[in-house]
Structure 1
Amino acid sequence: MRDHVIRRLTDVPITGHPTRLHVRLPRYQCVHAQCPRTIFQHQLEAAEPWAKTTKRATTWILKRLIQDQMSISAISRALGLGWDLVNQLATT
């Protein structure tokens, strides 16, 4: 193990308040010449490596759009995220 990084993710709101997860992930260093990467970090099942939200939050966004017909603006306020990010998650 080399060190740790803190990954900040947005999750579903709890009792109407935005939720931020601060997850401490170990980073590893490979010393073998065959390793394609020398430094890499532990991956989470709850979120894609590049994502700023959990998979659960993305599902929540889609449900609010389809079932509740909430606007992108209302969803972004509920999650404490920017409109552009919520719109991107909803359309990809």
Structure 2
Amino acid sequence: MELRTHPLVVSQVWRDYRGRQVNLARLLKAVDIISIDDSMGRACGALLGKAGMSDPIDAAVVLLSRSGDRIATSDPNDIERLIEAAGRRVTLVPM
């Protein structure tokens, strides 16, 4: 299974300044963390406009997805709206 995300998702879960999130650090070694550039930022903004939403972190998660992917999220309602607006064929996995 290929895992991918972007750095701002990491910022949502990483609170370690003393080396205590060992399990999370191990998991992140297996994740492809994809940088967000200007064109992705613009695409996120366009998707947010289309969906009538405002969270660029969620928009980038959806835009990084590929057909057949599963998106694990604690915010399934917002992600579902973005998936629909983006026309993605992915499975939502509420956490």
Normalised-by-shorter TM-score class: 0.3 to 0.5
Give 1 or 2 for the bigger CA radius of gyration: 1
Identify the structure with the greater helix proportion.
2
Task: Tell me the TM-score normalized by structure 2.
Answer: 0.32
Length-normalised TM-score, structure 1: 0.33
Higher strand share: 1
